[in-house]
Amino acid sequence: MISRKLVQHPLLPSKIRHSLPYSKLKSPTLFNTPFLPKSPSILATNLIKSYFEMGLFKDARTLFDEMPQRDVVAWSAMISGYTSCNLHARAWIMFREMLRDATDVQPNEFTFSSVLKACKGMNTVSCGALVHSLVVKYGVLGSIYVGNALMEMYATCSDGIENACSVFEEIVVKNAVSWTTLIAGYTHLGDGKGALRVFRQMLLEEVELNPFTVSIAIRASASIGSHIYGKQIHAAVFKRGYESSIPVMNSILDMYCKCIGLSEAYRCFQGMVERDIITWNTLIAGYEKSDPYEALNLYSNLESEDLTPNRFTFTSVIASVANMAVLRLGEQVHGSTIKRGLVDELGVANSLIDMYAKCGNITNSCKIFNEMESKNVVSWTSMMIGYGSHGHGDEAVDLFNKMVTSGVKPDRIVFVAVLNACSHTGLVDEGLKYFESMTSVYKIKPDQEIYGCVVDLLGRAGRVKEAYELIEAMPFMADESVWGAFLGACKAHKVSEFVKLAASRVLELKPSVSGTYLALSSIYAADGKWGDFARIRKLLRGMGSKKEAGRSWIEVRDRIYSFVAGDKLGSHIESVYEVVDIFGLHMKEVGYSSDLESLIHNLDDGT
């Protein structure tokens, strides 16, 4: 948008022409009214800002270059303009140019807070630290804007939260932005507890809250799954009248989706007086995994409120389709993203890779992946998971190496992907090498999920004893997922000496997992220990739980048919059995004999 001040100016046409030369920016003589800008320099700066607002950074630069005198305001406007267009490196170059060429101009607090934003955007803490030293040199550390920008830079750049904390401590008079920035820093780092610790301190110091602080605090409590804390904050929001703030309510909606439940979330959604596209996106994302049909239903209703789906909407919608694994629907949604010009958005392309892989079309995943102009760690991970699930573990591992070569820094989740790929391809030693490099090269601390992957990697290959030793050597207590992976390995390789131990650990840690009882009982049965078998089965019945049925589905022409093992319902079931029989014959032909031993013992609960 063109600022009103400019449009009102008599020298400018109602629509700004591009590349308006500096020489045209003369002080107005015809309409010498008091509200008009006074000097060409001020006018030029105004125009520079407008150019950036319209994304015309080249025109901004041309005008800037034509200025005979550039003061600190013009320089700062350029630096901040570039960052506002996400051109952080250009902003940084501008700052360097300013220090080098404009010896008569001194950077001020505006310059520093803008260039710090550029450092944050480049994720380059070394530049940020350099600016930090200049901030001290120029004596502007006392500016609350500079202090907050420094904190934000450190909090966002890798491993900088401690530096952010020490800057925070040094700010004598902190304001709500300082607190919010620190809370956001912890939250984005995934340290919800750290964030809530700061939030609590803020409450103790009786700092006035505002919607910004409240929404990030809600996100922090959602990230640790604390519905108690989340509900407390919801009550506080209600008390302070923040429910009129859409971002605050969106955070609450997200918290309900993640920690409380979808039906409650839906009630929250219906209770909202005002909703925006993020509101809808949040709910669609909430439904995406557990009820993708409802997610699609919401998507089709969204335009009734005159809202336009954006890249986030499509990311969740595509993920929903991926979870439904209905290729034709996926192709339709893919078409919509093309029509709306969103197909090249990073997040959208990433979810398309995942969707095509989950719908069985790995070729399309590849095509999208290869045609992407820029890829991030999510793109690589999605492609690797796709390859892995299609049995191309070698390609997935290969991709990991290519990713590292291309300069993308691996994160924790990409290690989950590469370890899984190694595990399913039998690349055990290769996988162990990656696991080792995770800490030694990339300084990422392995968590329960990673240990689970490595236990699975060793266990699948029959190296059960090593898997057990790894669990023993873990720096923290293994949770039920790690023991679950171990149990799976013991079961697969019939290492009964460890089964009891593994199963009892899983049961201790998560008694609600009925699958564990089943696994344990199967092993007892296979060992002929019928007394133990009966005892476990009795426990299982006492729980009133059933093994969760794995649902399968198939798309034939325009219909989706779904079924579970042992299904006797539905008119299509007979055809399913026919197909299963054909599969059985094919498998026999290639010499596969099924492992009936453990199957038999599972038959009695109908799954």
Partner DNA sequence: GTAGGGTTAG
Q: Residue-wise over 145-180: b if at least 16 C-beta within 10 A, else e? A: bbbbbbbbbbbbbeebbebbbebbeebeebeebbbb
Residue of 411, 429, 578, 581 that binds DNA (CB under 7 A): 411
Token couple for 284: 């669609």
Separation of first and last alpha carbons in the chain: 62
Longest distance between any two alpha carbons in the chain, whole Å: 104
Q: Would you count residue 423 as binding DNA (CB under 7 A)?
A: no
Q: Would you count residue 144 as binding DNA (CB under 7 A)?
A: yes
Restricting to residues 178-197, name those near DNA by CB under 7 A: 178-181, 184, 187-188
Q: Would you count residue 336 as binding DNA (CB under 7 A)?
A: no
**Contact yes or no for 467/455 (Cβ under 8 A):** yes
CA–CA dist 148, 132 (Å, integer) = 12
**Which contacts qualify for 525-530: CB closer than 8 Å, 24 or more apart?**
525/600, 525/601, 526/494, 526/597, 526/598, 526/601, 527/496
Restricting to residues 445-504, name those near DNA by CB under 7 A: none
DSSP 302: G
Radius of gyration of the chain (CA): 30
Smallest gap from residue 22 Cβ to DNA (A): 12
23: CB partners within 8 A, 6+ apart = 66
Stretch that binds DNA, among 40-48, 130-138, 332-340, 563-571 (CB under 7 A): 40-48
Which of 383/520 has CB closer to DNA? 383
Stretch that binds DNA, among 25-33, 140-148, 429-437, 577-585 (CB under 7 A): 140-148
Smallest gap from residue 413 Cβ to DNA (A): 4
Q: Would you count residue 602 as binding DNA (CB under 7 A)?
A: no
Q: Would you count residue 146 as binding DNA (CB under 7 A)?
A: yes
Stretch that binds DNA, among 26-34, 176-184, 327-335, 428-436 (CB under 7 A): 176-184
Backbone dihedral angles phi then psi of residue 553, each to the nearest 5 degrees: -150, 160
Smallest gap from residue 67 Cβ to DNA (A): 8
Which of 351/423 has CB closer to DNA? 351
Smallest gap from residue 35 Cβ to DNA (A): 9
Element of type H or E holding 559: strand 559-564
Which of 410/431 has CB closer to DNA? 410
Q: Would you count residue 414 as binding DNA (CB under 7 A)?
A: yes
Q: Would you count residue 365 as binding DNA (CB under 7 A)?
A: no
Residue of 90, 95, 131, 148 that binds DNA (CB under 7 A): 148
Smallest gap from residue 233 Cβ to DNA (A): 13
The SS3 of residue 225 is: coil
Q: Would you count residue 149 as binding DNA (CB under 7 A)?
A: yes
Restricting to residues 64-123, name those near DNA by CB under 7 A: 71-74, 76-77, 80, 84, 108-111, 113-114, 117
Give the x-and-dash track for 242-261 against DNA (CB under 7 A). ---xxxx-xx--x-------
**Closest alpha carbon to 419 in 445, 380, 452:** 452
Q: Would you count residue 378 as binding DNA (CB under 7 A)?
A: yes
Q: Would you count residue 50 as binding DNA (CB under 7 A)?
A: no
Smallest gap from residue 392 Cβ to DNA (A): 17
Token couple for 58: 């080249």
Smallest gap from residue 156 Cβ to DNA (A): 8
How would you class 578 by CB atoms within 10 Å of its CB: exposed for 0-12, middle for 13-18, buried for 19 or more?
exposed
Which of 174/463 has CB closer to DNA? 174
Give the x-and-dash track for 261-280 against DNA (CB under 7 A). ---------------xxxx-
Token couple for 41: 């320099």
Q: Would you count residue 430 as binding DNA (CB under 7 A)?
A: no
CA–CA dist 396, 115 (Å, integer) = 39
Q: What is the DSSP string of 6-64?
A: HHHSTTS-SSPPTT--GGG-PPPSSS--TTS--SHHHHHHHHHHHHHHTT-HHHHHHHH
Q: How many residues bind DNA (CB under 7 A)?
A: 84
Q: Would you count residue 438 as binding DNA (CB under 7 A)?
A: no
